[in-house]
Amino acid sequence: MALEGYDDYVPPEDATFEPPPIEIVHPLTESPSEFTVILCAVLLLALVVGVCGNASLFSLIIYIRKWSAPLSAIHAQTLRQPLQKTNVQPSVARHETTTVAKTQNNNNQRCFECICNIGVPLWRPQCRHSNTYPIKSYIIVLCLTNFIVSTSLAPSIVERFVGVWLLGTGVCKIHLIIVVGGNILTSYLVMALTFNCLSSISPASTQRCGINSGVAVLGFLLIAVVLITPTAINATLNDIIIYSTSAVRVQTEKCAEAAHHDRILLWSPFVTVLFGHILPLIIITYLNIAILKTLLFGNKRYDVASLSSMRASLEKKAALSTAIIGFVHIVCSSPHWALVLFETAFRLEQEASDWLPLLHLLPFISAAVLWMPAGILHEQTQRLKLFEKKTSSCCDSCDSSIRKR
């Protein structure tokens, strides 16, 4: 019904209509479902196991590395100490021939045990640096990387339990950088571990030395920094609208990479997956097959008569631990990267399904359990190192006794 006197009212041309501001609110907090509670409990367990396990193994290796050097020097000095000569008195001259015969017999028996029972390698690589097969250094960096990745699991647990990201854009960027960069760095560290394991048992490694661990780790870090640069640029909080009217909008926020339309940034996930996962995956698979062939068809570095069952057992355990590390990492990281490609190719939203976002949590499981086979690998490496020191000392004593005779 029109008001009297306003029938012919015409609004001015410069008049503007300003709609009322829309009030943005977050959804009400509800009791989490049983699935959410179980998932958060599993992730919390992975957080505790990953942080405590990686920190414990890291501290243990550092402690052993700190104190093993002086102890090894003392042990080597003791082993290389020459035997004291005993003056033979004239009263026991009749026993001189018997004593010399027994000493010569003992030296022959010791040399025979050194060559036949322990298994002396027929080659000794000469390298400019002493860190020829730096498996220990790679395990240290792997534990440190998985420790940082495990700590970044806490924001994901809060987001999964509450249903909204509460820590802002800055923490979101740091979280995605740690997750993506840690996964890429872990892939290359596993590749380096597998390569060094093959170098320690393969006959093809007799004429070459391992890569210095410091140079290799710096190279891996450089590759990871280059590949995570697009992630650091695109990481932001995505607004997910649940309900909207002309006055109220109910929305939540999720930490993810923003949708980009630039052609270079659009192809960045494919480049990241190619050089951060597929390339290391192919190399790890090839090296594990080579390790398997070496263990099955014999080791040509040793003579057949001098092959030690003890060393062969240690090498098999080390190779098995390396294979487990590669298998666990591939199984946990492959679904994550496959989902990244799927979301990028089909512009799929993470909320399209309830179970698809769970694949992004698998790298945290890998970071939580890799310290177990890594610890076994470190133990076998230490035993092999001690074994080689004993054989080297035995061979030196045998060589000196043979020269004297």
Q: Which two tokens stand for residue 89?
A: 């008195």
- Per the model's pLDDT, the better-predicted residue between 6 and 372 turns out to be 372
| Rounded Cα distance, 85 and 81, in Å | 12
| Rounded Cα distance, 195 and 211, in Å | 10
Which CATH number describes the domain made up of 35-67+134-389?
A: 1.20.1070.10
Amino acid in position 322: T
Q: Which two tokens stand for residue 222?
A: 């450089």
Confidence of residue 124 (pLDDT cuts 50, 70, 90): very low
The number of helix segments (H) and strand segments (E) in the chain equals 11, 3
Cα–Cα distances (Å) from 285 to 13, 141, 322, 323, 362, in that order, read: 73, 21, 11, 9, 20
Q: What is the pLDDT of residues 83-121, one digit of tens each?
A: 444 444 444 444 444 444 444 444 444 443 444 444 433
Bridge partners, residue 256, by sequence: 236
Q: What is the pLDDT of residues 37-93, one digit of tens each?
A: 888 888 899 999 999 999 999 998 888 766 655 555 555 555 445 444 444 444 444
pLDDT of residue 142: 93
- Per the model's pLDDT, the better-predicted residue between 50 and 298 turns out to be 50
- Per the model's pLDDT, the better-predicted residue between 77 and 153 turns out to be 153
Question: Got the DSSP string for 103-138?
Answer: HHHHHHHHHHIIIIIII--S-----SSS-SS-HHHH
Q: Spell out the domain ranges in the chain.
A: 35-67+134-389
- What pTM value is reported for the model? 0.73
> What's the mean per-residue pLDDT of the chain?
71
pLDDT of residue 354: 60
pLDDT of residue 65: 65
pLDDT of residue 185: 93
Count of beta carbons in the 10 Å neighbourhood of residue 402: 11
Cα–Cα distances (Å) from 318 to 161, 192, 198, 228, 256, in that order, read: 40, 14, 10, 32, 39
Q: Which two tokens stand for residue 27?
A: 């959804």
